[in-house]
Amino acid sequence: MKIEKIEIRYLEGKLKYPFAWSQRWTDTRSVINIKVFTDNDIIGWGETFGSLENLDSISSVLKFSIGEDPRNIQKIWNKLYRSTFQGHVFAKSAVYAISALDTALYDIVGKYENKTASQILGGNFRNSIPVYATGLYYVNDYSFNDLIKEAEEHASCGYKGMKMKIGALTLKEDAERVIEVKKAIGDGIKLMFDANEAYDPISAIKFTKLVSEVELEWFEEPCASRDDAANTYVRNNSLIPISGAESLSTRWDIVPRMINNVFDIIQPDICAVGGPSEMNKVGIIAQTLGKKFNPHFWGTGISFAAALHSLSVQPITQIGMKDIPYENESVLECDRTPHPVRENLTNDIFTHKNSRIDLPTGNGLGIEVDEKALDSFTVGNVIKIDSPSLGRRIY
């Protein structure tokens, strides 16, 4: 079996209403999609982050996989990584390409062997994954009433945890929003809050003091993710566990930060960390180093299925009698903010029962892609590559 051709597209959907986090407002949602063709007519799907302008650099990296046997997943991962090692592997496009391709390879090999992606990854420990709802962004001119209403909706449909945004308003205003959301959802539902790198360490510590009257599960990205000194300062002075790493890539970004206790909870995203292969390695190392591993998610059903399969093969983080979400079992982020592409591109794999989502059971990733939706959300040209790179490396 050989990889013959790859199509790379930028997909974008317009939102009915804009929403915001600490850094900006948005009125669109987007994703980069790849469709990998093999010489035996098996097709694999992958996706990653990036803008329309990233397509050229991503396709230049993907060229290194043309002609390879997709069953050699680790060999291909390392070929792409090494080809870009001294160049832009650290500037995202390369690791975005690797992440998308690695996801597509598990889809292809699963379909080829009549197995699920989790079976290709080594076999699953569990058939469902605990999830929490991500939403509670700033909407409608920072409306407080809309925030509380949304929190009550997530609670009433059975989520056992949810995450809200902070960092766009004053410390006092955001602290009041956190306290009131927690009071609205009650003690039985966990609440996490995410600054998206908005604070300096002193402000972050001040914030933890302002919300100390309620119990909170974690404080996400208080400071810039690569500012280890700032995050370590916050971690050492906060009673609330600190999380991060959604924007970090590969074990080489993340493991030193685990060893140095920069974060309590590691949250790699399968679209940026390096795909299921790397997610797996980082998860196992997190367990070894006693760090919690609760991955980030911001894509469509393609990367969500890949994340579900990846988490299904992770053992619990401490030895115990049973899996207990948040305590010894990893929980996966389930983005519930509007996303026209996510809502239409694949069959619905986001339905939860009791805050758990079943693993797809079909071969490969176990998802169906609606190609009409794929075409309708495509912006710009579809890049098609069908010949290997003439060069040996990209610098």
Return the sign of the alpha-carbon dihedral for residues 322, 221, 103, 18.
positive
CB of 5 to Mg ion, least distance (A): 35
Judged by CB, which is closer to Mg ion: 107, or 194? 194
DSSP characters over 120-188: HTT--S-SEEEEEEE---EETTT-HHHHHHHHHHHHHTT-SEEEEE-SSS-HHHHHHHHHHHHHHH-TT
Closest separation between CB of residue 221 and Mg ion, Å? 6
Hey, what are 16's tokens? 């009915």
Angstrom CA distances, 54 to 9, 93, 213, 229, 268, stand at 10, 6, 45, 31, 21
- DSSP lists the bridge partners of residue 34 as 8, 46
Q: Which is nearer to Mg ion, 174 or 220 (CB)?
A: 220
Cβ-based neighbour number of residue 298 at 10 Å: 19
> Considering only residues 178-207, where is the footprint of Mg ion by CB under 5 A?
194
In angstroms, the CA 340 to CA 282 distance is: 31
Smallest separation, CB 257 to Mg ion (Å)? 16
Binding mask 243-262 for Mg ion (x = CB under 5 A): --------------------
d(CA 188, CA 329): 18
Q: How far is the CB of 294 from Mg ion (least distance, A)?
A: 11
Q: Which residues contact 261 (CB under 8 A, 6 or more apart)?
A: 232, 235
Minimal distance in Å, beta carbon 263 to Mg ion? Answer: 12
The residue whose Cβ lies closest to Mg ion is 194
Q: In terms of Cα–Cα distance, which of 273, 259, 336 is closest to 19?
A: 336
Closer residue to Mg ion (CB): 194 or 217 = 194
Question: Residues binding Mg ion: what is the number (CB under 5 A)?
Answer: 2
Using an 8 Å Cβ cutoff, are 230 and 250 in contact? no
Judged by beta carbon, residue 7 or residue 194, the one nearer Mg ion is 194
Give the binding range for Mg ion (CB under 5 A) out of 78-86, 100-108, 217-225, 302-310.
Answer: 217-225
SS3 at position 75: helix
84 versus 300: smaller Cβ distance to Mg ion: 300
Q: Annotate each residue in 321-350 with x if it binds Mg ion (CB under 5 A) or - if it does not, as one string.
A: ------------------------------
Binding mask 35-54 for Mg ion (x = CB under 5 A): --------------------
* Stretch touching Mg ion by CB under 5 A, among 18-26, 60-68, 80-88, 219-227: 219-227
Helix (DSSP H) and strand (DSSP E) numbers for the chain:
14, 14
Whichever of 47 and 221 has its CB closer to Mg ion, that residue is: 221
- The least CB distance from residue 155 to Mg ion, in Å, is 20
Q: Which is nearer to Mg ion, 220 or 335 (CB)?
A: 220
- Binding pattern to Mg ion, positions 127-156, x when CB under 5 A? ------------------------------
Supply the minimum distance, in Å, between the C-beta of residue 196 and Mg ion: 6
When the beta carbons of 8 and 181 are compared against Mg ion, the nearer one is 181
The CB-of-298 to Mg ion minimum distance in angstroms stands at 8
Structural tokens at position 85: 């090692």
Q: Are 305 and 275 in contact (CB under 8 A)?
A: no
**Which residue's CB is nearer to Mg ion, number 107 or number 220?**
220
Q: What pairs with residue 154 in β-bridges?
A: none
- What is the contact surface with Mg ion in residues (CB under 5 A)? 194, 220
